[in-house]
Amino acid sequence: MTTITHPAPPTVIEETPSGAVGRRVPRHDALLQVTGRVVYGDDMHAAGMLWARAVRSPHPHARIAEVDLLPALSSPGVRAIITGRDVPRNRYGFTHQDQPVLAEDCVRHVGEAVAVVAAETLRQAEEAAARVMVRYEPLPAVFDPLEAMRTDAPRLHQDTNVAEHIRIREGDVEAGFAQADAIVEEEFTTGFVEHAHLEPHAGLAIPSPDGAITIYSSVQRPFLVAGDTAKVLAMSQNRVRLIATGVGGGFGGKNEMTFEPWIALLALRTRRPVKIVFTREEEFQATTVRHPYRMRYRTGVRADGTLLARAVEIISDCGAYVSWGASTLAKASIHAAGPYAIPHVKIDGYLVYTNNPVGGAMRGFGVPQVGFAYECHTDAVAEAVTMDPIAFRLRNALRDGGHLPTGQVLERVTLAETLRQALEMAEWRREGRAS
């Protein structure tokens, strides 16, 4: 086998009287990176390990009438198969505990996991997973949040498909609109975005003879994932040890528990380590996405460019389970009016269940969507009063002592100064308009 001699690691940067700040410092793991020695999820191996593969729903919404494991259990190399019934507490979630570890009574999105197979080889796990017989009774499905809000829409969970309604009020928007010289109304939509971190979800569970479990996983939040795993497995937290491997990109896509309880259960049952790696297809189909938003903006402005009132309605396509949907929508709603001083504000955010992929955390956490909307909208409002878009922003920008519609008072606000510096750097020129 090839002998590889690695060069020495870079010298530690010594503290100087002026400190290390402002110095170029190589990452502590730079050498590992460039020699291919960072350990990511798929790089974890253990002697005797089994490979796991999930069985996933082809239907967006269906009752699970029957699961027949026999054809798969007799498939070569299979050592164990788990379903929702094997999960001690098959329900979790951050703000809403609406999500099962493995679907039990019904599936609510294409790709939702129904069972997980562990076999001696990956090939055998794939073959066996294809042999698990699930009898589905398809249910009417809904893919448009507006349709999902109707009383006659298929219901995903109880009562209503509106999982959350965020309300933010300041002043009296109708009064504000009444005083306005111009009112601009626009609608903006954003689509699904998949994180597409280059490294797929991957990990390895190693059982301890005393019934404890160690899980290596490529996750952004090891303590949250450890805690949730312990909760759903009804184990005390000190018996679920989660070690985060190198993470080959996350961007919010590895912000929650996914396969960890599956491989833990399989490992404990088989008394063998169990490895899992998601395929790229599973990443696109079955992992979280950025929520699509439909945003309606209505703004009242005076002829001199002073913002008076803004009403915003956000409809967030939650997907099948809330996951990070409510926290994301809360953040988006808080930011929805933009970094501008507006005396009258009305913001309504609706989180709506659909049979679409589950919306989760993704860099920006709801703000990219509303940011896109309110900045495009600000240009339109500036145009409505024939004002230079930069001058308009400088006029209305929040400043020290200003506050968000939630009442939060802001300190050290550098928006106006930043904008001016950016302008200089971009050498903005506009003929005939005051800056």
Partner 1 sequence: MPSEVSFTLNGERVTTAVEADESLAWVLRERLGLLGTKIGCGTGDCGACTILLDGHPVCSCLLLAVKAQGRAVVTIEGLGAPGQLHPVQQAFMEHGALQCGFCGPGLLVSAAALLARDAHPSEEAVREAIAGNLCRCTGYAKIVEAILAASKDAVGEQSR
Partner 2 sequence: MKPPRYVAPLTVAEAARVLAEEGEGAYALAGGTDLVVRMRNGTVRPTVLVDLQRIPDLAVIARQDGHLRIGAMTTIAALIGSAEVRHLTPVAAEAGAQMGAVQLRNLATVGGNLASAVPSADLAPPLLVLDAVARIAGPAAARTLPLEDLFVGPHRSALRQDEVLTAVDIPLPVAGTGAAFLKFGRRRAQVLAVVNAASWVRLQQGIIAEVRIALGAAAPTPMRARAAEDLLRGQKADPDRLDAAAVVAAQETKPISDLRASADFRRQLSRVLVRRALERAVQRADREELRHAV
Given the rule CB under 8 A, which residues bind partner 1?
1-7, 10, 24, 26-27, 29-40, 42-43, 195-200, 246-251, 277, 279-280
Least distance from C-beta 422 to partner 2, angstroms? 29
* Short-list 271, 257, 276, 275, CA closest to 212: 271
* Short-list 114, 87, 83, 104, CA closest to 234: 87
127 binds, among partner 2, partner 1, none (CB under 5 to 8 A by kind): partner 2
Strands (DSSP E) contained in 25-180 are: 50-56, 62-68, 78-83, 106-107, 113-119, 133-138, 162-170
126 binds, among partner 2, partner 1, none (CB under 5 to 8 A by kind): partner 2
CA 79 to each of CA 31, 87, 278: distance values in angstroms, whole numbers, following the listed order? 39, 17, 20
Contact between 127 and partner 2 by CB under 8 A: the answer reads yes
Contact criterion met (CB below 8 Å) for 345 and 169: yes
408 binds, among partner 2, partner 1, none (CB under 5 to 8 A by kind): none
Residue 249 token pair? 């990109």
Least distance from C-beta 40 to partner 1, angstroms? 6
Strands (DSSP E) contained in 195-331 are: 202-207, 213-217, 240-244, 274-277, 289-290, 293-301, 307-319
Strands (DSSP E) contained in 39-90 are: 50-56, 62-68, 78-83
Contact between 126 and partner 2 by CB under 8 A: the answer reads yes
Least distance from C-beta 286 to partner 2, angstroms? 16
Choice between 43 and 126, CB closer to partner 2? 126
Choice between 23 and 150, CB closer to partner 1? 23
Contact between 123 and partner 2 by CB under 8 A: the answer reads yes
Choice between 195 and 377, CB closer to partner 1? 195
Least distance from C-beta 130 to partner 2, angstroms? 9
Contact between 281 and partner 2 by CB under 8 A: the answer reads yes
Choice between 32 and 416, CB closer to partner 1? 32
291 binds, among partner 2, partner 1, none (CB under 5 to 8 A by kind): none
Please list the residues that pair with 307 across neighbouring strands: 301
Residue 298 token pair? 């209505």
37 binds, among partner 1, partner 2, none (CB under 5 to 8 A by kind): partner 1
**Cβ atoms within 10 Å of 38's Cβ, excluding its own:** 16
Least distance from C-beta 48 to partner 2, angstroms? 22
Binding stretches for partner 2 (CB under 8 A): 123, 126-127, 281
